[in-house]
Amino acid sequence: MCVATILDGKALAERIRAEVKTEIAEIGELGLATVLVGDDPASDIYIRRKHDAAKEVGIVSADIRLPVETSEEELLDQLAELNADEAVDGILVQLPLPEQIDEARVIRAVDPTKDVDGLHPFNAGQLYLGRPTLVPATPVGILALLAEYEIPLVGARAVVIGRSDIVGKPVAHLLLQEHATVTICHSRTSDLARETIVADVLVVAAGQPALVTADMVKAGATVVDVGMNRTDAGLVGDVDPDAMEVAAFMTPVPGGVGPMTIASLLRNTVRAARFRSGALAFPRA
Ligand code: NAP
């Protein structure tokens, strides 16, 4: 019986955070603003983690909280203010937003050069075109983890479960760019196991505990479990831990993708600051 090597996101994230801290000390002051509308407890936890990490590396962070009844126009006004604020390098609007607010419109309202979540159509389009500019943090973190453990991607069969704008689609594009042959699965995929069993690299981002069981994993595969599901048994991923006995490499939950997401957000903030200062050229028409 083989037991997979752990893809240790916690250790790599710690190293990345130390690197970011050094970069920030060189750059000088750097600002990140987050906007949370409403009081969703899970969103509150994510936001607090992001601010703790930002502070630790020397990023000045503003935690803007708006009441759940905030109108779309009020949120857009807030974003216009942040777009114009010279002290703000990165803006992140925590999703989901209350139902009276059109998420797509809000995402379009963030200055693309400050869009550290990489969700603005300009940045999403750049990724689609194979010119990653600002890319969502979770996929960036996943690719960094795969690179750290030298997981071969060229010509590999990569299967992604999930097609969200923040994880599934961007991670599929990054894998494609690394020359993997990519399949994207979703809730209408007719036979999930038939797809997953051939995957050399399997990325699971569905938000369904134990969606992937050990018998769905190819022997020797690399499995990245993005899922974060709060259950009575605590925080669990989307992959049954028994898959550790089949895979060659696997991320733990917690301690895999989660810490990499936070570290990559900090990296994105540095990248956004470099775009704004002109140290990196932001692609313009
Ligand atoms: P999402 O927007 O809800 O998307 C989930 C995707 O999974 C959808 O594309 C959905 O298909 C697909 N799906 C759901 N049930 C499925 C099933 N039974 N079979 C196949 N596909 C299925 O979620 P998300 O924002 O991408 O997040 C996914 C998970 O990752 C969540 O658990 C979230 O908490 C976690 N997450 C973790 C991190 C981290 O840092 N670790 C970061 C972001 C997200 P349809 O499109 O057909 O509905």
Between CA 241 and CA 237 the distance in angstroms is: 9
Contact by Cβ (8 Å): 162, 205: yes
Dihedral sign, CA of 20, 21, 22, 25?
positive
Q: Is 26 exposed, middle or buried (0-12, 13-18, 19+ CB in 10 A)?
A: exposed
The whole-number pLDDT of residue 183 equals: 99
pLDDT band of residue 173 (cuts 50, 70, 90) is: very high
The average confidence (pLDDT) of the chain is 97
Whether the per-residue pLDDT at 156 is higher than 70: the answer is yes
What average pLDDT does range 156-174 have in this prediction? 98
Percentage of the chain exceeding pLDDT 90: 98
> What does the buried/exposed string (b/e) look like for 220-246 if buried means 16 or more CB atoms within 10 Å of the residue's CB?
ebbbbbbbbbeeeeeebbbbbeebbeb
50 counts as catalytic: yes
Is-catalytic flag, 55? Answer: no
The CB of 237 under 6 Å from ligand 1? The reply is no
Q: Quote the pLDDT of residue 247.
A: 98
Distance 221 CA to ligand 1 centre (A): 21
Report, as an integer, the average pLDDT of 86-92.
98
The residue whose CA has the least distance to atom 8 of ligand 1 is 162
Q: What is the pLDDT of residues 21-36, one digit of tens each?
A: 999 999 999 999 999 9
Q: Whose CA is nearest to atom 40 of ligand 1?
A: 258
* 185 CA to centre of ligand 1 in angstroms: 11
Catalytic annotation, pick one of 78, 94, 111, 126: 94
Which residue out of 8, 50, 169, 200 is catalytically annotated?
50
- The answer to whether residue 64 scores a pLDDT higher than 90 is yes
DSSP 211-269: -B-GGGS-TT-EEEE---EEETTEEE-SB-GGGGGT-SEE--SSSSHHHHHHHHHHHHH
Give the model's pLDDT for residue 250.
98
Q: Which of 273, 279, 223 is nearest to 251 (CA)?
A: 223
Q: Is 126 a catalytic residue?
A: no
Ligand 1 atom with least separation from CA of 253: 41
Q: Which of 39-43, 100-104, 138-142, 216-220 has the lowest average pLDDT?
A: 39-43
**Residue 249 binned pLDDT confidence (cut-offs 50, 70, 90):** very high
**What is the pLDDT at residue 191?**
98
Mutational test site, ligand 1, from 95, 107, 161, 188, max ligand atoms within 8 Å of CB:
161
Q: ∠ at Cα 165 (161, 166), nearest 5°?
A: 85
Q: What is the mean pLDDT of residues 79-96?
A: 98
Percent of the chain exceeding pLDDT 70 equals 99
Indicate whether 88 pLDDT > 90.
Answer: yes
- When pLDDT is averaged across residues 262-282 and rounded to a whole number, the result is 97
Residue 1: what pLDDT? 63
Position 2 pLDDT exceeds 80: no
Q: Using a 6 Å cutoff on CB, does residue 191 contact ligand 1?
A: no
Residue 49: CB within 6 Å of ligand 1? no
Residue 285 has pLDDT above 80, yes or no: no
